[in-house]
Every structure is written in C-alpha cells, then in structure tokens.
Amino acid sequence: MNSPNIQNTSEQKFWYLRNHKLFSTLSNAEIDDLCIITKHKGAKKGEAIYFGEDLQNRIFLLKKGIIKIVEHNDKGDEVIKDIMQKGDLFGAIGSDDSINKESAVTISSEAIVCSFRISDFENILSKNPDIALQYFKFLGLKLKKIENKYTNLVFKDVRSRLIAFLNDWTAAEGSKVGFDWVVENYLTHQDIAGLICSTRQTVTQLMRDLETEGHIKYDRKEILIHSSLLAKTERPIKS
C-alpha cells in the first residue's frame, strides 16, 4: 500500500488513521482532536524514537517501518520487549503513570509515527464502545503474548526458544518457496538474542547448529526455514 500524494500534515493524519482498523470509523473532527501530532522520522537505523519520559503520556501508532521496543539495565544489557510493524500501537498502552524505562529504536531505515495523548484516546474510547471492545481484544492479545514469552522463558531452554521464535517469525512474515519458507532478515544475531533472552554468541552457535542439521539456511539478508523445523521444539537426542 502506497500513500497517495499528500500535501500537508493534516491530510496525512486523516489518511493514516482512516486506513487503520481501529480508527476507520472516526469522524474528521474526532481524528482532529485525537491525533495532535504526526511525527515523521527519517530516522537512521538504530535511532531512538522516544525515551522514558516522552512515553509516559502518549500512545504511538507506527505507520511505516519496523521498530523494536527495548529496555536496558544498568550494565547496558538489552532486552527486546517487542518488534513493532506497520499498524501496531505502542507506548503507554493501558497505563498512565509510573516510570517506564523502555525506548523505541528503529530497525528499518525509516519510520513514520503518529501519536496521541492518553486522555484524548480514552475520550474516544468512552464515546465509541465498538472501538473500545476492539481495543480490549488488542490488549488481551498483548497480554497473552507477553505471558507466552514469560512461560517460554521459564520452561524452555535457549535452543527451544530460538526455534519457537523462528517458527513464529515464519508464520507471521514468511512466504512459501517449495517446501521451505523464506523470511526477510532484518534482525542481527544480537537482536535475536535480545528477543529470546540469550547472548549473541549463543545465538550464532545455535543458528550454525540448525544449519548443519539441515533445518535452516541463512545469510544476512534472508533466512530459509525448512519445513522440518516447523513444530520442532525439542533438542536432538544426544549420542
């Protein structure tokens, strides 16, 4: 989907929201009240879109690009909470207080983002029960996703988590080629490590293992996933 020729910010924001499932039914006036900023980032790869405090009172809608929501600890280690794609909401989802240490970093070469104040968003929700219900579903999904990540982390070892991640990725974005699947690879081993809570070295090692076992094949641009990996979560029996 390419955006039409858009002359100014105002028209852009209408176009952005109208094409989003959650906001498609809103009137011009409502959109005008809600979306007070349309933020464009000709952001370089690796550039942060927002930091701690900004995030407190805003919800963001990613219109274009890929970003990662990350959190760092004191030592500088990074966990990737989530990867956001076109159409995803992020930011202070569902809460409006307390400290948040997350930041959003662009992975793609460009990212375009709209944002709204939480209070404005809540206002829209309370006046549009249908949108509210959809938003409930969205929150439920988010909740389930993170709960799933949590149990994965507890129950599974790194290898299983990597395989589960590859399977999810394939399911979400892969295209079938013969008996295999291809996924465009915009993530480094470092990123993947952050996503499955491991280290770069371990990810590299396991990717190599999976390749020599014949389950995947990869370079820096794409990953080819053999169907033998699908639904495979156990480690091979040791000899």
Partner DNA sequence: TTGTCAATGTCGCATTCCCGACATATTGTA
Partner DNA sequence: TACAATATGTCGGGAATGCGACATTGACAA
User: What are the residues binding a second copy (CB under 8 A)?
Assistant: 71, 73, 77, 79, 81, 93-96, 98, 122, 125-127, 129-130, 132-133, 135-137, 139-144, 146-147, 149-151, 153-155, 197
The token pair at 130 is: 């249908």
Nearer to a second copy, 120 or 122 (CB): 122
Which partner from the list DNA, a second copy, none does 202 bind, CB cut-off 5 to 8 Å by kind?
DNA
CA distance 136 to 142: 10
Q: State the minimum distance, in angstroms, from the CB of residue 160 to DNA.
A: 8
Name which position in 85, 199, 227, 233 contacts DNA (CB under 7 A).
199
Name which position in 6, 188, 214, 236 contacts DNA (CB under 7 A).
188
Strands of the sheet containing 89-91, edge to edge, are 37-41, 111-117, 58-64, 89-91
- Please list, residue by residue across 18-30, b when 16 or more beta carbons sit within 10 angstroms of its beta carbon and e when fewer do: eeeebbeebeeeb
> 69-78: which pairs have CB atoms within 8 A and are 24 or more residues apart?
69/102, 69/103, 69/104, 70/102, 70/103, 70/104, 70/105, 70/194, 71/101, 71/102, 71/103, 72/101, 72/103, 78/194
Q: State the minimum distance, in angstroms, from the CB of residue 123 to a second copy.
A: 10
Beta-carbon contacts of 217 under 8 Å, excluding residues fewer than 6 positions away, are: 211, 223, 224, 226
Let me know: does 170 contact 162? Beta carbons within 8 Å.
no
184 binds DNA (CB under 7 A): no
DSSP class of 97: -
Which partner from the list a second copy, DNA, none does 232 bind, CB cut-off 5 to 8 Å by kind?
none
Stretch that binds DNA, among 62-70, 89-97, 137-145, 189-197 (CB under 7 A): 189-197
Beta-carbon contacts of 151 under 8 Å, excluding residues fewer than 6 positions away, are: none
Angle between helices 129-155 and 118-127 (to 10 degrees): 120
Nearer to DNA, 18 or 235 (CB): 235
Q: State the minimum distance, in angstroms, from the CB of residue 216 to DNA.
A: 11
202 binds DNA (CB under 7 A): yes
Q: State the minimum distance, in angstroms, from the CB of residue 129 to DNA.
A: 45
Q: State the minimum distance, in angstroms, from the CB of residue 170 to DNA.
A: 17
**Residue numbers 208-227 binding DNA by CB under 7 A:** 208, 219-221
CA distance 232 to 116: 42
Binding mask 52-91 for DNA (x = CB under 7 A): -------------------------x--------------
Instruction: Catalog residues that contact DNA under the rule CB under 7 A.
Output: 77, 157-159, 188-190, 197-202, 204-205, 207-208, 219-221
